[in-house]
């Protein structure tokens, strides 16, 4: 069966092997046309004493993206192929590979345990597995369904948000807060926030596959009693009738710009908005979309490679 004939509950996996110094532009290309469903893999064992994946320029990595089989997949695949051809003229990029991933294969994918920041440990698991009791440690243990490898914390945009959540918790601002997580992916941001002091989280994603996995991930990480999962976008009639202390949106720059006013409206006065998924050449447009109303201020900007995150505060007291 060709990829054009595949059913909509399948995914087109595109992967390319290259030197890690060229991984960022490929990741950007894949993120743009794969709606952030991107995973970077490096051979070798994970070292529990290392903080995050650190790649030397000459390391070989493989960048994966997953395109859901719908009526846009042919166009998105074509744009990725054009981008890879242009990159191959400037760098040593191996020919890309592609394959169809079925629903069963998707759910049985895996990833290595990784550490993000100084205390977040992310491990693959399944809802049928026996989750070990938490050990007395400062580590925040997160269990994720391997089927959503693009939401594990490997991507710089996710790491930026996770490290900022650690900062919010260390400063005491996260305690008792109510979270809205827009485009939640694997739900990792909400899971970590809940484990570090937030009281409740509402996770929203347009992707049905993500929604199913998020529910499992919340259960595996033992925070499901404090969370709600909704399919769709914002505004959403199923969200509670109050403003949130924190709003997370780790999505694409295009969607951030489109939803800027609704994202701002979702936060309470004095509330914090974290937005990520922004390439550095798109940061000015995103800033303009959020600050043009004059209803919030940018309190911090973080960057990892070519990716950026904004921390913003909505005007007014709580």
Residue 7 pLDDT exceeds 50: no
Q: What is the pLDDT of residue 103?
A: 67
Beta-bridged to residue 154, according to DSSP, are none
Domain range list for the chain: 3-107, 114-314
| More confident site: 205 or 112 | 205
Q: What is the pLDDT of residue 198?
A: 96
Q: What is the pLDDT of residue 149?
A: 46
Closest CA to 84 of 58, 65, 68: 65
Query: Read out DSSP for 231-285?
Result: ES-SS-TTS-SS-EEEEEEES-HHHHHHHHHHHHHHEEEEEEEEEEEEEGGGHHH
Residue 50 pLDDT exceeds 50: no
* E-strand stretches of the chain: 11-19, 38-42, 60-68, 97-101, 114-116, 120-124, 140-144, 178-182, 200-205, 227-231, 244-250, 267-279, 296-304, 307-314
Among 204-218, 231-245, 280-294, name the one with the lowest average pLDDT: 204-218
Query: Read out DSSP for 172-198?
Result: T-STT-EEEEET-TTSHHHHHHHHTT-
Residue 52 pLDDT exceeds 50: no
Closest CA to 145 of 200, 185, 198: 185
Q: Band of the pLDDT at 92, cuts 50, 70, 90?
A: confident
Q: Band of the pLDDT at 48, cuts 50, 70, 90?
A: very low
Tell the residue number behind the tokens 């970077």, with chain if given: 40
Residue 200 contacts residue 178 (beta carbons within 8 Å)? yes
Residue 128 pLDDT exceeds 50: yes
Tell me the per-residue pLDDT of 32-46, one tens digit each, with 9 for 90 and over: 787 667 777 654 333
In percent, how much of the chain has pLDDT > 70? 80
Question: pTM for the whole thing?
Answer: 0.75
Q: Band of the pLDDT at 316, cuts 50, 70, 90?
A: confident
Q: What is the pLDDT of residue 282?
A: 87
Sign (positive or negative) of CA dihedral 288, 293, 294, 296: negative
Between strands 244-250 and 267-279, the pairing is parallel
Residue 265 pLDDT exceeds 90: yes
DSSP 1: -
| More confident site: 5 or 129 | 129
Q: What is the pLDDT of residue 280?
A: 83
Q: Band of the pLDDT at 274, cuts 50, 70, 90?
A: very high
Q: What is the pLDDT of residue 6?
A: 39
**What's the chain's average pLDDT?**
82
| More confident site: 207 or 200 | 200
Q: Band of the pLDDT at 204, cuts 50, 70, 90?
A: very high
Calpha distance 19→25 (Å, rounded) = 12
CATH number corresponding to 3-107:
3.30.70.120
Q: Band of the pLDDT at 139, cuts 50, 70, 90?
A: confident
Q: Band of the pLDDT at 150, cuts 50, 70, 90?
A: low
Q: Band of the pLDDT at 181, cuts 50, 70, 90?
A: very high
Q: What is the pLDDT of residue 41?
A: 67
CATH domain 114-314 topology: Rossmann fold (3.40.50)
């Amino acid at each position: 069966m060709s990829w054009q004939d595949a059913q909509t509950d399948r995914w087109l996996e595109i992967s390319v092997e290259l030197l890690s110094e060229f991984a960022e532009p490929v990741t950007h290309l894949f993120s743009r046309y794969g709606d952030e469903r991107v995973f970077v893999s490096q051979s070798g064992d994970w070292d529990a004493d290392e903080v995050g994946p650190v790649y030397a320029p000459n390391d070989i990595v493989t960048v994966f993206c997953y395109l859901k089989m719908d009526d846009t997949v042919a166009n998105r695949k074509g744009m990725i192929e054009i981008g890879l051809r242009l990159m191959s003229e400037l760098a040593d990029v191996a020919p890309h590979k592609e394959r169809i991933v079925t629903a069963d294969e998707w759910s049985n994918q895996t990833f290595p345990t990784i550490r993000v920041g100084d205390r977040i440990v992310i491990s693959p698991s399944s809802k049928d597995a026996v989750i070990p009791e938490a050990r007395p440690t400062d580590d925040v243990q997160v269990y994720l369904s391997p089927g959503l490898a693009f939401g594990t914390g490997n991507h710089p945009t996710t790491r930026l948000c996770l490290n900022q959540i650690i900062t919010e918790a260390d400063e005491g601002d996260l305690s008792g807060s109510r979270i809205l997580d827009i485009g939640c992916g694997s739900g990792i941001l909400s899971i970590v926030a809940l484990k570090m002091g937030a009281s409740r989280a509402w996770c929203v994603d347009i992707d049905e596959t993500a929604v199913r996995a998020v529910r499992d991930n919340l259960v595996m990480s033992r925070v499901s009693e404090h969370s709600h999962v909704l399919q769709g976008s914002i505004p959403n009639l199923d969200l509670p009738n109050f403003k949130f202390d924190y709003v997370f949106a780790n999505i694409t720059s295009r969607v951030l710009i489109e939803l800027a006013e609704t994202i701002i409206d979702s936060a309470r006065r004095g509330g914090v908005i974290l937005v990520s998924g922004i390439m550095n050449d798109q940061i000015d447009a995103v800033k303009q979309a959020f600050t043009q109303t004059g209803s919030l201020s940018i309190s911090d900007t973080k960057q990892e490679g070519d990716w950026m995150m904004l921390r913003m505060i909505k005007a007014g007291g709580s």
